[in-house]
Amino acid sequence: MHLVGRIRLCGLVGSELGRSPTSGEVFVFLNRKRTHLKLLHWEQGGFVLYYKRLEQGTFPLPKNTTTGAISWSELVLMVEGIEVVKSNRRRRFTLQP
């Protein structure tokens, strides 16, 4: 992807999502056919762009999200092409801020 494409993705993050592309979040982009995936992430010093094109099949869409935000584990499953039909997450201890 050339510079214009990266700038366009950064523009989408700002204008459509109302987020800062340099926030440190990972932004996920899928094409309409869900055969191409791009991940945009800001690290100190510049942007990191991950691009994956499937030769066969499609990327699953994350379920149960109204904001579009997904967890890191959901992102990994999505990139690997694993679609969880039914799952129960066991309770774990988490620190409350």
Per the confidence metrics, is the pTM higher than 0.75? no
Q: What does pLDDT average to in each consecutive run of 10 residues of the chain (97 residues)?
A: 67 84 90 92 90 91 74 87 77 82
DSSP string, 25-52: -EEEEE-TTS-EEEEEEEETTEEEEEEE
pLDDT at 6: 64
pLDDT at 5: 63
pLDDT at 88: 75
pLDDT at 33: 94
pLDDT at 95: 85
- Cα separation, 32 vs 95, in Å, equals 39
Is residue 84 within 8 A of residue 77, CB to CB? The reply is: yes
- Cα separation, 53 vs 36, in Å, equals 5
**In the chain, domain spans:** 3-80
